Structures are given as structure tokens and as C-alpha cells.
Amino acid sequence: MSTVEQSAPPLAAGQKLSRDEFLRRWELQPEVKKAELIGGVVCMPSPVSVAHGSKENFLATLLGHYSWCTPGCEAVSNAPWLMLGDAPQPDSSLRILPEYGGRSRLEGLFGSGAPELVVEVCLSSASHDVGPKLELYRKAGVSEYVAFLIEESRIEWRCLTGGQYARMEPGTDGILRARVFPGLWLDPRALLRNDGPRLLEVLNQGLQSPDHAAFVEALAARRRQTPASSQTEAPTSNRE
């Protein structure tokens, strides 16, 4: 590749770029770890606060624990997704692997399509996360979208129904229960007070539920019926 081909203006918030150009410029800036393309516009989030990082860690841990106990599911943190011509970088996501009937795929280094569930922790980015980003996830078909609004001390869990997001309410016991991922249970009050043991206790109750056992069996059945999906070979890259 020539010097001319290797050079490009640095990414900056507000630039209007195609996804290919956005990814090309980002590839030339491996020091940039957080960047997104939403609606064709480059977004460069502010540095993550301690409050943001703490909540993100709690939620990512829960998704990771769920995926370890649910063969055929994969939890991902801070990875870009190629989605309807854009490239969002959600804080966390949970997907069903394609060989188990999931809709998303790998395209080079990145996920392509829509993971079944996305989590965003929102502080300075709140208007963005529940505005343009929410609309992108809706159009792309992300089945469940969880937004933790730090300033409001509130969790908004949305499910895609008939092409529109509907807010999901906790059960009478105060527990939020995922629909696409049976057994993924969340106690929002425990999350608000950073009560890790309680969060894990509730999740483990979900993992021991009959619904989760049935889901694991259903995923295994899909795996037996679905040929292993071919994944695009990841190209050499400066970005990990």
C-alpha cells in the first residue's frame, strides 16, 4: 500500500463518512479504542467515568456468566458491529452463535448484523444512546436493548415487538427477565446499590429455572440441525 493510500485525516466527532471510510481511518489509528458511526456520523465518546465503568463491569460480568452457562451463546464487550451501514460499539452484547440458529455473523474482525441483546451504560451519552443509537438498534432488529441511565438511576429494558420497542417491566418480585435469553434475570435494585452477590444470586436462580434448561436443550437441537457456519477470515490488523 502506498503512503498516499495509508494516510487519511484523523477521525473526529461529527464527520460524515461511509462505513468503509470510517473503518479505514480507524484502522490507521490503533490508539483510538472507542469510536462509532451512527447514521453516517462519527461519534467519539468521552472518557469513561468510574460510575460508568463500574456499572458496565457489573453488567458485562452477568452476561459473561450467562454465556458460560448457556452453550451456543457468546457475550461480547466493546466490540464494533457492522449494522445497516453503520458501526456502533455497544458496551456489551449477547448473541446466539450462528451454528445454534443466531442471526449475526463474523465479517473480518467485527460482528455483522444484529446481536440478540445489547447493553449500554449511559451518562454523558444518554441522549445519544436512547436517541439515534436506539433507533439504529430498532431498525437493525436487536431483539432486546438494555440501557442503564446513571443520572436517573434507572434501567430501561426494551423488547422488539412488531418492529417497535416496548418497555419491559419487572415482575411482581422486582426482577427483570429477558425474553430472548430465558434465565437471564436481573435485579435492578441490586445493580443500583452495586450488590454483586445479590445480582449473581438472582442470575443463578434464572440459570436453574426450567425455562433456561429448555432453552439450552433447544439450542443443542438447533446445533445438531445446522451445518457449521463458515466465518470470514479476519484480515491482518493493527487493532486488537
What is the tens place of the pLDDT at every residue in 174-204? 999 999 999 999 999 999 999 999 999 999 9
**Cell triple for residue 26?**
480507524
> What value does the mean pLDDT take over residues 124-128?
63
What is the mean predicted confidence (pLDDT) over 24-34?
90
93: region left, alpha or beta (phi > 0 left; psi from -120 to 50 alpha): beta
Q: Taking the model in full, what pTM does it have?
A: 0.88
Per residue in 203-233, pLDDT (tens digit) is 999 999 999 999 999 999 999 887 654 443 4
CATH architecture, range 15-224: Alpha-Beta Complex (3.90)
Q: Give Cβ neighbours of residue 210 (< 8 Å, ≥ 6 apart).
A: none
Q: Average model confidence (pLDDT) for the chain?
A: 89
How far is Cα 192 from Cα 194, in angstroms, rounded to an integer?
6
Relative orientation angle of helices 50-68 and 196-207, to the nearest 10 degrees: 20
